[in-house]
Amino acid sequence: MRQELKNIKLAVNREKELPVKAGKKKGGKNKNRGKKGRRGKDKDLTADRTIESLYKELVEEGLLVQTLKVNLSDYIGEYSYLGATLRRVSIEPMPSLLDVRQLITLYGVLPLGSAEVHQHAPLVKSLLLAGPSGVGKKMLVHAICSETGANLFNLSAENIAGKYPGKNGLQMMIHVVLKVARQLQPSVVWIGDTEKTFYKRVPNAERVNEPKRLKKHLPKILKLLKPDDRVLIVGTTRRPFDAEIQSFCRVYQKIILVPRPDYASRYVLWQQIIQRHGGVITSALNISCLAKVTDGFTQGHIVRVVRSVLTDRRLRQQQQKPLIAMEFMGALSTMDPIYQEEEDSFKNWYAKTPMGKKRALAMMGGNTGTAKDKGQKKGKKEKKEKKKKK
């Protein structure tokens, strides 16, 4: 009965969007019959098909993708121990990598992995991961699916380009994805480079792909998701400032900024990634030096450097020739770091979002009208003083 109710709501919403043709106005009876017939047909667009066939279709179209076997613990990092000190001097620090991992567990892993937690926890239907390229946003999406056993649907603008063309095709795609995601929950609907779906202005080179196809439908998808549905929409973006901020924030309930690793995180990253790739850390290898030199470089940079240096031949030579920090410098010199200005642009963008504004008010003490109230009190005191003088 719940499924039928959802399908009827879908049909009603679809009929509202369809334009009324002027040349086909006939008697009231025939008109009503046509409406009833149309409603009957639109109850379930795929009523005659099994979930297995729909699942197979989505796999063949590349909309249902295989999850990489990545654990959340593989997202290496450390806490920011300077956070409290910076806040005392009115500087809001970026979240640490372990803060990001904790938030992903809170909003993604626990509600999707446990039906009981999902029932009692605050309902989060959508999540946005924003940060520069190479900081592990895609890895976190796959980690959510690996930890919870969730299906991963890829509705990125580049992935759906040319698939299910036309308005009816788009409605069919959304219907099939939602139907399979609900039936085989938990599910994650991933929208990579989600700023393209909300472009302020579509670049000429990308107009052929119609990147904004899903823009009007995403709020409707969120409304269709019920509290019982363990389905999470996760967007990832490296350029959120290219999107219309109002429509962007209407879709995504929670925003997590994924930063560059700080010194403590870089130290742990170098140490663990070298060891995972077969490297042996000795007193000849100065990890602290590598962590200091790579300020601005991301996790992706460090992984690529370690892979390029620790070849099979180099691993066999470690007993006679221990690893040193200079060996990693050559590969690093060919890469461009993430500069402080780019990270600041993410902080400035976040400050303009509703979540950022609420956080700023909370940091100030939680009173939305503190400055106004002070001004009003001063004005009242001045008026009282003038009256006393008179």
pLDDT tens column, 223-237: 888 888 899 999 999
Q: Cβ distance 305 to 266 under 8 Å?
A: no
Least confident of 3-7, 58-62, 148-152, 372-376: 372-376
Task: Enumerate the β-bridge partners of residue 237.
Answer: 130
Segments forming the whole domain that contains residue 79: 51-257
If you average pLDDT over residues 355-377, what whole number do you get?
61
**Residues 194, 235: contact at Cβ < 8 Å?**
yes
Among the three residues 292, 318, 333, which one is the final residue of a domain in this structure?
A: 333
pLDDT of the residue at 312: 92
CATH number for the domain spanning 327: value is 1.10.8.60
The pLDDT assigned to 191 comes to 92
Question: Which one of 6-10, 114-118, 311-315 scores highest in mean pLDDT?
Answer: 311-315
Q: How do residues 68-107 score in pLDDT, each as one tens digit? A: 999 988 898 888 777 667 667 666 677 788 889 999 999 9
Angstrom CA distances, 180 to 168, 188, 226, stand at 18, 11, 15
What type of residue is 72?
Answer: L
Number of domains in the chain: 2
Is 249:353 a contact under the CB 8 Å cutoff? yes
Output the pLDDT for position 203.
85
Position 296 pLDDT exceeds 70: yes
Dihedral-angle region of residue 145 (phi above 0 means left; psi in -120 to 50 means alpha; beta otherwise): alpha
Q: Does residue 95 fall inside a structural domain? A: yes
Find the mean pLDDT for residues 199-224: 86
Does residue 110 lie within any of the structural domains?
A: yes
CB 102 within 8 A of CB 228: no
Determine the Cα angle at 267 with ends 263 and 273, to 5°: 135
pLDDT grade, residue 365 (50/70/90)?
Answer: low
One domain for residues 65 and 104: yes
115 falls within a domain: yes
Q: Are 172 and 45 in contact (CB under 8 A)?
A: yes
Q: Are residues 174 and 230 in the same domain?
A: yes
Average pLDDT over residues 36-49: 60
Contacts by 168-176 with C-beta closer than 8 Å and gap 24+? 170/213, 170/214, 170/217, 171/14, 171/45, 172/45, 173/63, 174/217, 174/221, 175/10, 175/45, 175/46, 176/45, 176/46, 176/54, 176/57, 176/58
Regarding whether 150 and 127 lie in a shared domain, the answer is yes
Q: How confident is the model at residue 15 (pLDDT cuts 50, 70, 90)?
A: low
Higher pLDDT: 211 or 363? It is 211
- Tell whether 326 is covered by a domain: yes
For residues 202 and 65, membership in a common domain is answered with: yes
Banded pLDDT at 190 (limits 50, 70, 90): very high
Mean pLDDT for the stretch of residues 278-307:
91
User: Are the C-beta atoms of residues 350 and 257 closer than 8 Å to each other?
Assistant: yes
- The mean predicted confidence, pLDDT, of the chain is 82
Cα–Cα distances (Å) from 77 to 92, 103, 135, 259, 263, in that order, read: 19, 14, 11, 11, 10
Does 298 lie in the same domain as 180? no
CATH number for the domain harbouring residue 181: 3.40.50.300
Backbone angle region of 41, left / alpha / beta, with phi > 0 → left and psi within -120 to 50 → alpha: alpha
CA atoms 308, 314, 316, 319: torsion sign? negative
Q: Write down the pTM of the prediction.
A: 0.77
**Is 155 a domain residue?**
yes
6 in a domain, yes or no?
no
pLDDT of residue 237: 92
Are 215 and 185 found together in one domain?
yes
Do 193 and 283 belong together in one domain?
A: no
What is the structure's pLDDT at 91?
A: 65
User: What is the percentage of the chain residues whose pLDDT exceeds 90?
Assistant: 26
Per-residue pLDDT of 240-266, as tens digits, reads: 888 888 888 889 988 999 988 988 899
Q: Answer yes or no: do 296 and 242 share one domain.
A: no
Cβ-proximal residues to 290 (8 Å cutoff; 6+ apart), any chain: 266, 270, 325, 328
88 & 235 share domain: yes
Give the model's pLDDT for residue 384: 55
